Amino acid sequence: MNPLPSLWGADSPSRLLGSRHIATGELVFPALPGHSPLADQYQVESLAGEGELYSFTIIHPSAKSGINPFALGYLDLEGPVRLFGRLTGGERPLIGGRYRIVADADYGYVFEALEVRP
């Protein structure tokens, strides 16, 4: 038996799963596992599939690594909840830009820009 809950829900398009505290309404990510002592205080729900970029940084790995620079950022979703993840695409990220959460085989999920900037 897998002790960790899935990151993704079964709805289509698939959404990340979080847990909302029943008494306070606070939304957390990832969803609490069912065996957690706190599980009865939370209900699992799907997170919004899109959000606004709050902040980002560009990572410049060593040239010896052969890895190209990439961006990591925080995405604000309704709930409210803030997620950290990798941003995809060749353009420089834009704070306040709209991003969609998509599944990724290497990282679990990534943020993909929705708006094309001139």
Pairing assessment for the beta strands 17-21 and 42-46 based on DSSP bridges: antiparallel
Same domain, 55 and 41: no
User: pLDDT of 3-25, one tens digit each?
Assistant: 445 788 877 677 999 999 999 99
Are 34 and 17 in contact by the 8 Å Cβ rule? The answer is no
Instruction: Tell me how far CA of residue 102 lies from CA of 57, 89, 110, in angstroms.
Output: 20, 13, 6
Whether 8 is covered by a domain: the verdict is: yes
Q: For residue 9, give its domain range.
A: 1-47
Tokens of 54: 């709050």
Q: Mark which of 31, 47, 63 sits at the end of a domain.
A: 47
Q: Per residue in 63-101, pLDDT tens? A: 999 999 999 999 999 989 999 999 997 788 999 999 999
Is the distance from CB of 73 to CB of 57 less than 8 angstroms?
yes
Q: Check whether residue 54 and residue 108 sit in a common domain.
A: yes
The answer to whether residue 16 sits within a structural domain is yes
pLDDT tens, residue by residue, 101-118: 999 889 999 999 986 655
Domain CATH number, residue 81: 2.40.50
Among 73, 97, 94, residue whose Cα is nearest residue 85: 73
Indicate whether 118 belongs to any domain: no
Q: How many domains does the chain have?
A: 2
The pTM of the full predicted model, rounded to 2 decimals, is 0.84
